[in-house]
Amino acid sequence: MFEQYIDINPSVKKAIEEGKPVVALESTIISHGMPYPKNVETALNVEKIIIENGAVPATIAILKGRVKIGLTKEEIDYLGKSKEVVKTSRRDLPVVIAKGLDGATTVATTMILANLAKIKVFVTGGIGGVHRGASETFDISADLEELARTNVAVICAGVKSILDIGLTLEYLETKGVPVIGYQTDEMPAFYTQKSGFKVDYRVDSTEELAKTIKIKWDLVLNGGVVVANPIPEEFSMDYNVINHAIEEALKEADSKGIKGKVITPFLLSKIKDITEGRSLESNIQLVYNNARLGAKLANALVFK
């Protein structure tokens, strides 16, 4: 049924059919998360890193109403340049397809589409979560609901402190989503290794990670797993500098009345300006680091 809406890149299709390791990648990070041309450069480098680490990359997006699993270089470039791309979460997906639009997939939608294509490992930068002040605004990312229901492992660098990290962890606990620290006891906060919050469990090898994920799904415990992989020390930001930038950006968003799906892209761009580009550099490096881990995990899962 769903196959009629989806085009799978031939090399990705072959790898899936042969049971080879494949890693899904999202596209909102390209269209709404980083400026051009760094976004395209980063997306292409991420694919390269995944190949170097023995897996097949599949960047996912919607182009003119067709779901694409595995973009070409030209398609990544097109998506990175275009200003008309719809940030596509779960609720947007059928509309973007029906209207024949271009859509960039969020963590939630990338999970949905990766799962339909039988891809079990997905690499991103940071997941959405419970926003600060959510008790008033109800702003809780659809990424969390997707993690509760869709069987894909998501490698990220934790949760940015533009969100309420504590409430995000509570929400994931309620929904039965394990948050596993890779070689860390502490929940990373995207730009920094530390957040002041603990992860549920620490795992030190991709073998153990793959085993845990396999057991979860064997037991029909449906839903994703958050693998929290801290940014490498040499690229991490000063805790006070980044938190000051985040506070400033949040104040500006508040005074301008920015809310809903545009708030995360707004904050990311403001934080980049306030830190004179340093946050973007950290963002890029943590995605590369996640790509290395994701490729290794996809390999470990294949042999389970």
**By the criterion CB under 6 A, which residues form the site for ligand PSU?**
26, 28-29, 32-33, 89, 106-107, 125-126, 128, 141-143, 160, 261, 264, 268
270 is catalytic: no
Which of Mn ion, ligand PSU, none does residue 294 bind (CB under 5 to 8 Å by kind)? none
d(CA 268, CA 34): 8
Judged by beta carbon, residue 9 or residue 141, the one nearer ligand PSU is 141
Q: Which helix (H) or strand (E) holds 254?
A: helix 239-255
CA nearest neighbour of 159 among 120, 122, 199? 199
- Looking up tokens 């620490």, which residue turns up? 202
Nearest distance in Å: CB 90, Mn ion: 12
Judged by beta carbon, residue 106 or residue 206, the one nearer ligand PSU is 106
Judged by beta carbon, residue 126 or residue 178, the one nearer ligand PSU is 126
Residue 177: φ, ψ to 5°: -100, 115
CB 30 within 8 Å of CB 265: no
160 is catalytic: yes
- State both tokens at 44: 């292409």
Q: Which of residues 125-144 bind Mn ion (CB under 5 A)?
A: 139
Nearest distance in Å: CB 29, ligand PSU: 4
Judged by beta carbon, residue 77 or residue 139, the one nearer Mn ion is 139
Nearest distance in Å: CB 243, ligand PSU: 15
C-alpha pair distances (Å), 237 with each of 129, 189, 245 = 21, 10, 11
Residue 199: φ, ψ to 5°: -80, 170
d(CA 291, CA 87): 22
Nearest distance in Å: CB 260, Mn ion: 6
Catalytically annotated residue among 68, 87, 160, 272: 160
Which of Mn ion, ligand PSU, none does residue 32 bind (CB under 5 to 8 Å by kind)? ligand PSU
- State both tokens at 17: 């059919």
Nearest distance in Å: CB 128, ligand PSU: 3
Judged by beta carbon, residue 164 or residue 186, the one nearer Mn ion is 164
d(CA 45, CA 227): 21
Amino acid at position 161, single letter: S
- Pairing state between β 66-69 and 86-88: unpaired
Which residues neighbour 31 within 8 Å (Cβ) at sequence distance 6 or greater? 39, 79, 80, 82, 85, 87, 104
Judged by beta carbon, residue 68 or residue 299, the one nearer ligand PSU is 68
d(CA 146, CA 68): 20
Nearest distance in Å: CB 143, ligand PSU: 5
Which of Mn ion, ligand PSU, none does residue 107 bind (CB under 5 to 8 Å by kind)? ligand PSU
Q: Which of residues 138-197 bind Mn ion (CB under 5 A)?
A: 139
d(CA 109, CA 101): 15
Binding mask 87-126 for Mn ion (x = CB under 5 A): ----------------------------------------
Q: Which residues bind Mn ion (CB under 5 A)?
A: 139
Query: Which residues are identified as catalytic?
Result: 26, 160
